[in-house]
Amino acid sequence: MDAMQILVVILSIFLALFLLLAIILVVLLIKVTRQIKKVTSTAQNAAEHMNDLAINVSKFVSPAIIAKFVMKQFNKAKK
């Protein structure tokens, strides 16, 4: 074996090693993106529930504030 054949063998080994590492990295990145997608969907659901809660609370609080204002006006009118 001359020097060129040894160099080709060494380079092919490194190429195979880097190819294997790239495949492992792609698989890990796919797993991470799936986990990120799950987390974002959970966060989006939580935000939607908080939005619904805020809307429901505002529906009940607004009439209460108006009723309190009207009662103040009636009490002022009585005096």
In tens, the pLDDT along 55-65 reads 887 777 777 77
Q: Taking every pair of C-alpha atoms in the chain, what is the biggest distance, in angstroms?
A: 113
pLDDT in tens, 6-56: 999 999 999 999 999 999 999 999 999 999 999 999 999 999 999 988 888
Given a cut of 80, is residue 69 above it in pLDDT?
A: no
Q: How far apart are the first and last CA of the chain?
A: 113
How many Å apart are CA 45 and CA 51, to the nearest integer? 10
0.85 exceeded by pTM: no
pLDDT at 28: 98
Angle in degrees, CA 69, 74, 79, rounded to 5: 125
pLDDT at 68: 77
Tokens encoding 34: 């799936």
Q: Put residue 2 in one of left, alpha, beta given phi > 0 → left and psi -120 to 50 → alpha.
A: beta
